[in-house]
Amino acid sequence: MHIDYGYFEEKQLGKPYDVKLLGRLYPYTKPYKLLLLSSIVLIVLITLLDLSLPYVTKIAIDRYIVPGQLLKANQMVGSDENKIRTLKADMTDPQIESIVRKYSDLFKVEGSLALISFRNLNKLDKNDLSILRKRDLSGVTFITAIFLAIVIFNFVLNIAQVLIMEYAGQMVMHDLRVHLFKHIQSLSVAFFTRNPVGRLVTRVTNDIQNMHELFTSVIAFVFKDLFLLVGIAVVLMGIHLKLALVSFTVLPLVLYASLHFSGQAREAYRTLRIKIAEINTQFSETIGGIKIIQLFLQEKQNYLGFKNLNHEHYLAGMRQIHVFAIFMPVIEILGAAAIAVVIFYGGGGVLSGTISLGALVAFLSYMKMFFRPIRDIAEKYNILQNSMASAERIFLILDSSEAIQQPVADIGFRPEFRSKPSSTVLDKISEISMEKVSFEYVKDEPVLKNVSFSIKAGETLAVVGPTGSGKTSMINLIIRFYDPTSGRVLLNGVNIKEKDVNELRSKIALVMQDPFLFSETIRENITLGARNLSESTFRQILQDSNCKTIVDRLPEGVHTVLSEGATSISSGERQLISIARAFARNPNLIILDEATSYIDSETEVKIQEALIKLMSNRTSIIVAHRLSTVREADKIIVLNRGQIIETGNHSELMKLQGFYYRLNQLQG
């Protein structure tokens, strides 16, 4: 059962600060900055190529398809034709001179140039017209070749950019996922008692994947779209400043719509992230507790709870869709309005001769391109909001400081980071003690109160008491899964907070009443933390732990892969394998936490035999409900409601005829 107190998922995150979140992601991109810079350079080149295509079209129209400027041409023809566009022909070419003479009534000759109205071109023979416009046809062919070359080069650069960006994005997400996983492993057990598994799984899987989309989809395309917007604005003002300024009148409306809908989208995505995590949690708990659900006939109730949660996720998704269902058409309408303004104002300019036809066509192409990146940015903002909602959750975990604190001298204690041996290396456990230790999981709800005891090397200490008296909590403090609220846990007379926690735990083996085994081979489960065991030592461990009979009956022996939770073997066999794992660790201190509970008599005998061998010549702490298992202990501590009420060996406590005596009488 998870304690809700302090659960991070329900925190109100407040106002989003996307820039700060992106700034926190920056260190993960530094190892790949050359790849990212290369991608940005390619994006700039791709943008320049995209910008060149409409301009090439303008050149083709103004220079070759409809060449000549209206006013200049007609000034040469005469004021009576001041509204007629004319085509210039160079009479130094004998073929053109021949055509001019053939249609002398259609041409006006001025020196070496002959002018003909465009409205009269259809009066020429097709062959003569081809000769007259052969330079234009050659120019169109040349421009077409340039256009195709730009398209092909653009295609190649796009492939290269996508490959580079995808690789960089994959590596950044790889590093972020590994860092998050490593950080989660370093957190104390207290963190996991408050945070359900399903939500943590969501952080490492779904949320990291959303961050991948941020790097591979958003960053690259936002750069491209921003460059494209700026580039289009510059080109439009270069072609015709007044027409550009007129067409930009709709931009304030676009900016307002973007800002208005962005805030709504962020809240929708936050809700989505929470609901996805809650769905994962309920599904995980359903699978883990399916026996209880079915036993207590809770299938319908559990289904209704999941259905309600799924409906809430659906509503959050519909809110997000609703935002963009309105936003995208608004952008489309504003884009159409901008094109209408260009057609109205620019069309009048073409008719009056102040704007060329090629410039108007280029303007229309650029305006369509101008609103395409705006739509793209809106779609990428969709992804960005999703990613930022995930980033907030990821950094909530990374900001968690619920790790067991190491002594200052041992900062960077993990083996892969340690550059020199710790000054507090633990050679052997000679004494363990508690001094006035109190502990609470939840504030003002103490589990242990003013507990003090000591145990020497080679001794066996038994801890008994009713359920909820604090026995397991005492063990958790010795292993340093938790730190006491007050008081000290001493190891060889030194506070364990001053010891390297890895050194401490390397000297301890814990055998629990319900041991956890991984979905690995039996050998890998036994040699966990002791990978370099010799074959002869390993065989001896199997013999001493009474695991040999288990291994011998399995078809693949020690290489048998256990199912999830090791459900393919009995609880007693799991217990024996965990004892073998303790043997492989060769610890100074053995802790047995209800190690013989829920075991049949025959298996209990095997476990007791294995435990006797394991505890031989080692310091041992036994937590037990069955008092028959602790009678040979050197010292027995009796806990009740978090306090030590009796201490002594079995004979001494029986003579007292107190709490321990009554427990014995009850167990008969």
Res. 367: pLDDT tops 90: no
Pairwise pLDDT comparison (68 vs 349), residue with the higher score: 349
Provide the mean pLDDT of the chain.
80
Mean of pLDDT values over 116-139: 78
For residue 130, the one-letter residue type is: S
pLDDT tens for residues 157-204? Answer: 999 988 898 888 888 888 888 898 888 888 878 788 777 777 788 788
Pick from 195, 64, 43: nearest CA to 136: 64
The average pLDDT across 138-150 equals 89
Range picked from 61-65, 137-141, 540-544 for highest mean pLDDT = 540-544
Mean pLDDT, range 35-54, rounded to an integer: 88
Residues 182, 171: Cα–Cα separation, whole Å = 16
pLDDT of 153 over the 90 cut: yes
Burial annotation 542-553 (CB, 10 A radius, 16+ → b, else e)? bebbbbbebbee
Which 8-state DSSP code applies to residue 454?
E
pLDDT band at 130 (very low <50, low <70, confident <90, very high): confident
* Lowest mean pLDDT segment, chosen from 132-136, 518-522, 540-544, 663-667: 132-136
Q: Note the pLDDT of residue 18.
A: 61
Residue 419's pLDDT is 37
- For residue 263, what pLDDT is reported? 65
**Do residues 263 and 18 make contact, with C-beta atoms less than 8 angstroms apart?**
no
Do residues 140 and 60 touch, judged by C-beta distance below 8 A? yes
| First and final C-alpha spacing in the chain | 33
In this structure, is the dihedral angle defined by the CA atoms of residues 428, 429, 431 and 437, taken in order, positive or negative?
positive
Residue 70 has pLDDT above 70, yes or no: no
Tens digits of residue pLDDT in 81-107: 445 667 777 777 788 778 877 888 888
The arithmetic mean of pLDDT across residues 484-513, rounded, is: 88
Longest dimension (CA), the chain: 140
* Averaged pLDDT, 477-499: 90
How far is 523 from 529, CA to CA, in rounded Å?
Answer: 12
| Whether pLDDT at 223 is above 50 | yes
Give residue 438's pLDDT.
94
Contact 483, 497 (CB under 8 A): yes
Distance CA 12, CA 244 (A): 45
Phi, psi of 87 (to 5 degrees): -110, 130
Burial annotation 1-18 (CB, 10 A radius, 16+ → b, else e) = eeeeeeebbeeeeeebeb
Residue 284 amino acid letter: S
- The rounded radius of gyration (Å) of the Cα atoms in the chain is 40
Query: What pLDDT score was predicted for residue 227?
Result: 82
Please state the rounded mean pLDDT for residues 611-634.
85
Where does 508-570 have alpha helices with state H?
A: 522-526, 535-544, 548-553
Phi, psi angle pair for 398, to nearest 5°: -65, -25
pLDDT, average across residues 26-46: 87
- The verdict on pTM exceeding 0.75 is no
Q: What is the pLDDT of residue 404?
A: 67
Contacts of 294 (CB under 8 A, 6+ apart): none
| pLDDT tens, position by position, 538-578 | 889 889 888 988 888 888 888 888 876 677 788 888 888 88
**Region of poorest pLDDT, from 2-6, 12-16, 554-558:** 2-6
Residue 211 above 90 pLDDT?
no
Question: What pLDDT shows up at residue 598?
Answer: 57
Q: Tell me what pLDDT residue 447 has.
A: 92
Inform me whether the pLDDT recorded for 418 exceeds 70.
no
Q: Is it the case that residue 646 has pLDDT exceeding 80?
A: yes
* Region 324-342 average pLDDT: 81
d(CA 555, CA 580): 20
In contact, 575 and 595? CB cutoff 8 Å: yes
For residue 82, the SS3 value is coil
CA 142/CA 134 separation, integer angstroms: 12
pLDDT at 645: 93
Q: What is the pLDDT of residue 585?
A: 84
111: three-class secondary structure by DSSP? coil
pLDDT of residue 596: 62
Quick one: how far is CA 493 from the chain centroid? 45
- Taking the C-alpha atoms of residue 446 and residue 241, their distance in angstroms, rounded to an integer, is 76
Cβ count near 318 (within 10 Å)? 12
Residue of 617, 593, 611, 609 whose CA lies nearest to 429: 617
Say whether pLDDT at 349 is over 50. Answer: yes
Length of the chain in residues, anyone? Answer: 668
More confident residue, 263 or 62: 62
Q: Which residue has the tokens 């814990």?
A: 510
Residue 597 has what pLDDT? Answer: 57
Domains contained in the chain, CATH given: 8-44+160-398 (1.20.1560.10), 458-470+507-667 (3.40.50.300)
Closest CA to 6 of 536, 534, 396, 458: 396
Residues 297-321 have pLDDT tens digits of 788 888 898 899 899 888 888 887 8
Task: Calculate the alpha carbon distances from 201 to 38, 156, 184, 316, 656 in Å.
Answer: 34, 39, 11, 21, 52
Q: Would you place residue 364 in the very low, low, confident or very high pLDDT band (cuts 50, 70, 90)?
A: confident
Q: What is the pLDDT of residue 358?
A: 80
